[in-house]
Amino acid sequence: MRLTVGRKRVIDQQAVLDAAERVVGRDGAANLTIDAVAKEAGINKASVLYDHKSKQALVEAVVDRAFERDNAHHVGIEEQLADPDDRAIRGRILAAAEPPPEEFRAVALNLSAALALDATLRVKMQENQARTMARIMETSHSARGALLAYLALEGLKFLEHLDFHHFPREERDRLLREINWLATTQPGESDLPDIAAG
């Protein structure tokens, strides 16, 4: 979306959000300010405030766009798969074939901190996750296997995005193949192991 300000300057709102993302990656969401985003984008503060009335609104816009991009990215990969079976989970596994780029990790880490600390942002994440899991289960032959595969995949990504652990490439590729296998398994009902009463 583009908007004319004072008939002279056209402000690209995607460029504003790009600037906000760079500030988040560099300084953290807690340290994001309207002034810092304006400076990063090379525009005045009023131009940022025109569409984003507060720091909170700007952070929410960055988070919303991140979800939209992520979901669109996965749908695009799904559409390239020749086999329609289990497309939603297989598209996500294929999308994870390449580890996240270094510059993305800083943004993911800082946005994750914001999501954990802010109830409004956390609700956005919860809703997005619920939609994703429902779609994966609805489009899979083994809903439980696909859900387990998704949980394993998200665990791997969580470790990487938050810089907690990075597997060597060969081991990472093996894990993705095993997660892909898990997507079609039919887990049986089993009892939990006995836990001795304390």
Phi-psi bin for 99: left (phi > 0), alpha (psi -120 to 50), beta? beta
**What is the rounded distance in angstroms from the CA atom of residue 98 to the CA atom of residue 157?**
11
Higher pLDDT pick, 189 / 39: 39
pLDDT of residue 8: 42
Residue 148 has pLDDT above 90, yes or no: yes
pLDDT of residue 160: 87
62's tokens:
């960055």
31's tokens:
């340290």
| CATH code given to domain 2-182 | 1.10.357.10
The percent of residues above 70 in pLDDT, for the chain, comes to 90
Q: What's the chain's average pLDDT? A: 87
Phi-psi bin for 190: left (phi > 0), alpha (psi -120 to 50), beta? beta
- Which run of H or of E encompasses 5? strand 2-5
Mean pLDDT of 125-154: 95
* Global pTM value: 0.80
Per-residue pLDDT tens over the stretch 21-57:
999 888 888 888 999 999 999 999 998 988 888 988 9
Q: Kindly tell me the sign of the dihedral angle through the C-alpha atoms of 20, 22, 25, 26.
A: negative
Q: Where are the domains of the chain?
A: 2-182
